[in-house]
Amino acid sequence: MESIAPQPSDEATRRRSRVTALIVACALFMQNLDSTVISTALPTMARAFGADPVHMNVALTSYLLSLAVFIPASGWIADRFGAKQVFRMAIVVFTIGSVLSGQADSLGYLVCTRIFQGLGGAMMVPVGRLLLLRTVPKSEMVAAMAWLSTPALLGPVLGPPIGGFIVTYFSWRVIFDINIPIGIIGVILVTLFVDDVREPSDKRFDLRGLLVFGVAMASLMFAMETLGRGIVPPWVTHAALGVGGVSVLLYIWHARNHPAPLIDFTLLRYPTFLVAVAGGTLFRIGIGAIPFLLPMMLQLTFGKSAAESGLITFASSLGALLMKPASTRALRLLGFRDTLLANGVLSAVLLALVGLFRPGWSEFLIYGILICGGFFRSLQFTAYNALAYSDIPRPQMSAATSFYATIQQVSMTLGVSAGAASLTVSMAMLDHATPMLLDFSIAFGVVAFFSLLSTPVSLLMPRHAAMEVSGYARRG
């Protein structure tokens, strides 16, 4: 209906759209924070459960696996039951999962509650983004996506220091309890301020596709998490890679022959969506390694404490916050293609510079590079997120959000794996028993190269692509 497509001239509607963007951004921040906040608490939780700390990593991977498996179904469920209702229920499920996780008394119980919590997170983030896309006019999309890009950067960076602070001064169970008031407030705000937008659809649910794609994602992510870490025998990792690869091929064949697959590859015929998916994936592989590599480098080679390394890492989040007001102006001045080209190169260079940090460097210089890096990375994320949906027709918007959210989740996980693998290979080649500064420099160089590879992908679209969203054509 036309009433759900507000015009930019309606100031009241724009304000409501910004409120919706803020509510969705808070949900995204809660989900991103939760995926990393327990990382510093794992040794303490292992002692409480009487478990091997090495095996505690499953508390993280079970949640990520749940996200990757269930995100593809979010678009169909939102069309079937209404985006507002699904978004609100997803917050409830996520909050209940947090409560149950805080009551865990064994690793097995925690894994089950984290999978349940991941089900809520899988529905919460893409459906929240879908709500935003269906209520925000295209001219306001860049500003709206800036709200969503900031928590995506803040969550992984803030998670470890917040988790360390809570574990040090309180109980590890408080890590999960902090989601309770946020979840309650979120449900109230959604009920009061978010419009109930629907896109009627008679498509049947692709259950077979969900099963095949779920096996593919679970197998590949398990292989990435265990590759070279000695957690399981090598043949188990290789078997998981094989099963994952075969499942991906099976799903591609299935999607080509299904009228409405969960992950619809025909969306890649839109150049803007193709650039956002392909270029964004390469860029996120590089950026996703930062929360893993930087704190470890600061603690193992600089002699920083966990709290000190957390504060230094937070500098990149400060840069992300400073970016938000500048994103609209940058895209209006340069357009999407030129912004992604120039900003992508600059972001990759700043990422490589992090690998050159040395204990003798002044903290002022280190903080300056991290703040600048956070600023330009956030601009790149905002551009990709707005570009992805710029040319997608409304009937296909739910499929696009499912596709894009799944790719985002997988690419960030690939970033951690790429950073860990680069570090491991460098140690083996240089015969280092423990990571040295040179190993971290090499690892940062490798992931920066992945980010740099994203820039030529932007040439697949014309300079004036998505003008209505960027405002590039109106600057004259």
Q: Tens digit of pLDDT for each residue in 397-412?
A: 878 888 888 888 778 7
Topology, domain 1-201 = Growth Hormone; Chain: A; (1.20.1250)
3-17, 263-277, 402-416, 420-434: least confidently modelled range: 3-17
pLDDT at 1 over 50: no
Q: Domain residues of the chain, as ranges?
A: 1-201, 207-257, 263-476
CB atoms within 10 A of CB 7: 10
If pLDDT is split at 50, 70 and 90, which confidence band does 394 have? confident
Residue 7 is predicted with a pLDDT of 46
Cα(85)–Cα(462) distance, integer angstroms: 38
Residue 291 is predicted with a pLDDT of 73
9-18, 182-191, 384-393: least confidently modelled range: 9-18
Q: Are 397 and 134 in contact (CB under 8 A)?
A: yes
- What type of residue sits at position 69? V
pLDDT at 129 over 80: no
Residues 6+ apart with CB under 8 A from 393: none
If pLDDT is split at 50, 70 and 90, which confidence band does 274 have? very high
pLDDT above 70 coverage of the chain, percent: 82
- What type of residue sits at position 456? P
Task: Record the pTM.
Answer: 0.76
pLDDT at 431 over 90: no
If pLDDT is split at 50, 70 and 90, which confidence band does 275 have? very high
Query: Is 1-201's fold the same as 263-476's?
Result: yes
pLDDT at 347 over 80: yes
If pLDDT is split at 50, 70 and 90, which confidence band does 249 have? very high
Residue 454 is predicted with a pLDDT of 93
4-13, 210-219, 248-257, 309-318: least confidently modelled range: 4-13
If pLDDT is split at 50, 70 and 90, which confidence band does 6 have? very low
CATH value of 263-476 in 1.10.10.10, 1.10.150.120, 1.20.1250.20, 3.40.50.300:
1.20.1250.20
Residue 33 is predicted with a pLDDT of 73
Unique residue bearing structure tokens 């959210």: 405
Letter string b/e over residues 128-141, b meaning 16 or more CB atoms within 10 A of that residue's CB: bbbbbbbbbbbbbb
